[in-house]
Amino acid sequence: MITLIIGGSGSGKSEYAENLVEGYGEERRIYIATMKPWDEECEQRIYRHRKMREKKQFRTRECYRDLKSLNLMDEGKKPDVLLECMSNLVSNELFGMGDGERGFSSEQVVKEVITGILKVAEQTRHFTIVTNEVFSDGDCYSEETNVYRKTLALINQKIGAMADQVIEVIAGIPVFLKVIN
Protein backbone atom coordinates (compact mmCIF):
# COMPACT_ATOMS: atom_id res chain seq x y z
CA MET A 1 0.00 0.00 0.00
CA ILE A 2 1.37 3.42 -0.99
CA THR A 3 0.22 6.62 0.69
CA LEU A 4 1.29 10.04 -0.60
CA ILE A 5 1.06 12.89 1.88
CA ILE A 6 1.42 16.36 0.43
CA GLY A 7 1.34 19.79 1.99
CA GLY A 8 3.01 23.14 2.19
CA SER A 9 5.83 24.08 4.52
CA GLY A 10 4.70 23.91 8.14
CA SER A 11 1.37 22.28 7.23
CA GLY A 12 1.72 19.43 9.71
CA LYS A 13 2.25 16.81 7.02
CA SER A 14 5.30 15.22 8.68
CA GLU A 15 3.66 14.78 12.07
CA TYR A 16 0.54 13.42 10.39
CA ALA A 17 2.63 10.93 8.40
CA GLU A 18 4.49 9.71 11.48
CA ASN A 19 1.23 9.23 13.38
CA LEU A 20 -0.30 7.42 10.42
CA VAL A 21 2.59 4.95 10.26
CA GLU A 22 2.46 4.45 14.04
CA GLY A 23 -1.21 3.55 13.63
CA TYR A 24 -0.31 0.59 11.40
CA GLY A 25 0.73 -1.32 14.52
CA GLU A 26 3.82 -2.62 16.21
CA GLU A 27 5.49 -3.94 13.09
CA ARG A 28 9.01 -2.89 12.15
CA ARG A 29 9.15 0.83 11.23
CA ILE A 30 11.77 2.38 8.98
CA TYR A 31 12.19 6.09 8.37
CA ILE A 32 14.00 6.94 5.13
CA ALA A 33 15.59 10.32 5.77
CA THR A 34 16.61 12.23 2.64
CA MET A 35 17.96 15.49 4.11
CA LYS A 36 21.72 15.76 3.72
CA PRO A 37 23.43 17.48 6.66
CA TRP A 38 24.81 20.47 4.77
CA ASP A 39 25.90 22.42 7.85
CA GLU A 40 25.83 22.44 11.66
CA GLU A 41 22.24 23.72 11.76
CA CYS A 42 21.10 20.83 9.55
CA GLU A 43 23.06 18.37 11.69
CA GLN A 44 21.35 19.64 14.84
CA ARG A 45 17.93 19.44 13.21
CA ILE A 46 18.61 15.89 11.98
CA TYR A 47 19.81 14.83 15.46
CA ARG A 48 16.69 16.30 17.09
CA HIS A 49 14.39 14.59 14.56
CA ARG A 50 16.20 11.26 14.92
CA LYS A 51 15.71 11.32 18.70
CA MET A 52 11.99 12.09 18.26
CA ARG A 53 11.63 9.21 15.78
CA GLU A 54 13.37 6.76 18.11
CA LYS A 55 10.63 7.39 20.67
CA LYS A 56 8.14 6.33 17.99
CA GLN A 57 10.18 3.16 17.31
CA PHE A 58 11.43 4.19 13.87
CA ARG A 59 14.79 2.94 12.66
CA THR A 60 16.35 5.63 10.50
CA ARG A 61 17.96 4.87 7.14
CA GLU A 62 19.73 7.78 5.47
CA CYS A 63 19.20 7.89 1.70
CA TYR A 64 20.16 11.10 -0.04
CA ARG A 65 20.18 9.63 -3.55
CA ASP A 66 19.67 6.33 -5.38
CA LEU A 67 16.52 5.16 -3.59
CA LYS A 68 16.44 2.01 -5.72
CA SER A 69 19.59 0.69 -4.02
CA LEU A 70 17.94 0.40 -0.58
CA ASN A 71 17.47 -3.09 0.81
CA LEU A 72 14.84 -2.98 3.55
CA MET A 73 14.32 -6.73 3.90
CA ASP A 74 17.35 -7.33 6.12
CA GLU A 75 15.18 -8.99 8.76
CA GLY A 76 13.03 -10.89 6.26
CA LYS A 77 9.83 -9.16 7.32
CA LYS A 78 8.21 -6.38 5.30
CA PRO A 79 8.38 -3.13 7.29
CA ASP A 80 6.19 -0.06 7.38
CA VAL A 81 8.24 2.69 5.75
CA LEU A 82 8.04 6.48 5.86
CA LEU A 83 10.06 8.47 3.33
CA GLU A 84 10.65 12.06 4.45
CA CYS A 85 10.86 14.06 2.22
CA MET A 86 10.54 13.65 -1.54
CA SER A 87 11.52 17.28 -2.09
CA ASN A 88 14.99 16.70 -0.60
CA LEU A 89 15.51 13.51 -2.59
CA VAL A 90 14.55 15.26 -5.85
CA SER A 91 16.86 18.18 -5.10
CA ASN A 92 19.77 15.83 -4.34
CA GLU A 93 19.19 13.84 -7.54
CA LEU A 94 18.76 16.96 -9.67
CA PHE A 95 21.59 19.10 -8.35
CA GLY A 96 24.01 16.60 -6.85
CA MET A 97 25.35 16.45 -3.35
CA GLY A 98 27.93 19.22 -3.43
CA ASP A 99 30.73 16.65 -3.45
CA GLY A 100 31.67 17.03 -7.10
CA GLU A 101 29.13 14.42 -8.18
CA ARG A 102 26.81 15.91 -10.77
CA GLY A 103 23.08 15.71 -10.71
CA PHE A 104 20.84 14.21 -13.35
CA SER A 105 18.60 15.84 -15.93
CA SER A 106 14.97 16.33 -15.00
CA GLU A 107 13.95 13.34 -17.13
CA GLN A 108 16.59 11.13 -15.51
CA VAL A 109 15.51 12.23 -12.02
CA VAL A 110 11.90 11.31 -12.71
CA LYS A 111 12.98 7.88 -13.96
CA GLU A 112 15.39 7.30 -11.05
CA VAL A 113 12.94 8.36 -8.36
CA ILE A 114 9.95 6.43 -9.73
CA THR A 115 12.10 3.31 -10.17
CA GLY A 116 13.21 3.73 -6.55
CA ILE A 117 9.63 4.19 -5.33
CA LEU A 118 8.53 0.99 -7.05
CA LYS A 119 11.51 -0.97 -5.67
CA VAL A 120 10.92 0.25 -2.11
CA ALA A 121 7.17 -0.40 -2.39
CA GLU A 122 7.87 -4.06 -3.26
CA GLN A 123 9.75 -4.42 0.03
CA THR A 124 7.16 -2.81 2.31
CA ARG A 125 3.87 -3.53 3.98
CA HIS A 126 2.88 0.16 4.00
CA PHE A 127 4.93 2.82 2.20
CA THR A 128 4.16 6.42 3.17
CA ILE A 129 5.79 9.24 1.20
CA VAL A 130 5.87 12.86 2.36
CA THR A 131 6.26 15.57 -0.27
CA ASN A 132 5.91 19.31 -0.62
CA GLU A 133 3.32 21.25 -2.53
CA VAL A 134 5.49 23.90 -4.20
CA PHE A 135 3.13 25.72 -6.54
CA SER A 136 1.10 27.86 -4.14
CA ASP A 137 3.60 30.49 -3.16
CA GLY A 138 4.48 32.52 -6.22
CA ASP A 139 5.87 32.36 -9.70
CA CYS A 140 9.04 34.47 -9.90
CA TYR A 141 11.87 31.96 -9.65
CA SER A 142 15.14 31.27 -11.42
CA GLU A 143 15.15 28.83 -14.31
CA GLU A 144 16.96 26.27 -12.13
CA THR A 145 14.31 26.55 -9.39
CA ASN A 146 11.51 26.21 -11.92
CA VAL A 147 13.12 23.02 -13.29
CA TYR A 148 13.18 21.67 -9.74
CA ARG A 149 9.55 22.63 -9.09
CA LYS A 150 8.36 21.08 -12.35
CA THR A 151 10.38 17.90 -11.72
CA LEU A 152 8.97 17.53 -8.21
CA ALA A 153 5.44 18.22 -9.50
CA LEU A 154 5.77 15.52 -12.18
CA ILE A 155 7.06 13.01 -9.63
CA ASN A 156 4.23 13.93 -7.24
CA GLN A 157 1.72 13.33 -10.07
CA LYS A 158 3.22 9.94 -10.90
CA ILE A 159 3.27 8.84 -7.27
CA GLY A 160 -0.27 10.14 -6.81
CA ALA A 161 -1.44 8.07 -9.78
CA MET A 162 0.05 4.85 -8.36
CA ALA A 163 -0.83 5.54 -4.71
CA ASP A 164 -3.66 3.89 -2.85
CA GLN A 165 -4.17 7.07 -0.84
CA VAL A 166 -3.34 10.72 -1.46
CA ILE A 167 -3.78 13.02 1.51
CA GLU A 168 -3.19 16.76 1.58
CA VAL A 169 -2.49 18.21 5.01
CA ILE A 170 -3.64 21.81 5.49
CA ALA A 171 -3.08 23.49 8.87
CA GLY A 172 -2.73 20.05 10.46
CA ILE A 173 -6.00 18.81 8.96
CA PRO A 174 -5.88 15.84 6.56
CA VAL A 175 -7.94 16.17 3.40
CA PHE A 176 -8.36 12.84 1.62
CA LEU A 177 -7.97 13.34 -2.12
CA LYS A 178 -7.80 9.68 -3.14
CA VAL A 179 -8.68 6.51 -1.28
CA ILE A 180 -8.68 3.04 -2.80
CA ASN A 181 -10.01 0.29 -0.55
109-130 confidence digits (pLDDT tens): 999 999 999 999 999 999 999 9
Does residue 176 surpass a pLDDT of 90? yes
CATH number at residue 37: 3.40.50.300
d(CA 152, CA 159): 10
3-state secondary structure of 47: helix
Q: How many domains does the chain divide into?
A: 1
User: For the segment 137-166, what is each residue's pLDDT rounded down to a tens digit?
Assistant: 767 888 888 899 999 999 999 999 999 999
Band the pLDDT of 37: cuts 50, 70, 90.
confident
Range of the structural domain that residue 89 is part of:
2-179
Residue 166: the pLDDT is: 98
Q: What is the pTM of this model?
A: 0.92
Q: What does the pLDDT average to over 48-64?
A: 83
Please tell me the number of Cα atoms within 13 Å of 180 on its side-chain side: 11
